[in-house]
Amino acid sequence: MNQNEVMKRYFKEFGISMGIYVVAVIVSTTILNNFEFPQFAQIIITLIPVIPTIFVVISILRGLRESDELQQRIQLQAVTFSAITTGLITFSYGFLENIGFPPFPTIWVLPIMFFLWGISLGYFWKTYS
């Protein structure tokens, strides 16, 4: 499979998974906001959007595994930068919480990582062009 075919398959799998994720978030929050459930049911309904997120991760891993060596190297550098920078940001904010800053909502950790991954991907891609 050439790199174009890999990317085409990746974008298809990623796009479908993200679309299902968006629907799952909307449906689960709508259900939770409009109906009463016992706490156990609330936990299950709240975690429904995690299921399509697992498929997002699978599509990312499959796309990386099937990519050529250059793409894998670029992705490794971008993911490494993203993980380290996200860790540094959240670690630093933890100290700021000690002086009265509001608690950091952990739900933002993964979006920050993905955002930084995307930004750094552009940078690392340019360094090899």
pLDDT in tens, 32-63: 999 999 999 999 999 999 999 999 999 999 99
- Do the Cβ atoms of 53 and 21 come closer than 8 Å? yes
Q: How far apart are CA 61 and CA 59, in angstroms?
A: 5
Domain's final residue, options 24, 50, 67: 67
72 and 120 within one domain = yes
pTM of the model: 0.79
Residues 110, 74 share a domain: yes
| Residue 110, domain extent | 68-129
Whether residues 45 and 73 fall in one domain: no
38 and 78, same structural domain?
A: no
Q: How many domains does the chain have?
A: 2
- pLDDT beneath 50: ranges in the chain: none
Are residues 51 and 73 located together in one domain of the fold?
A: no
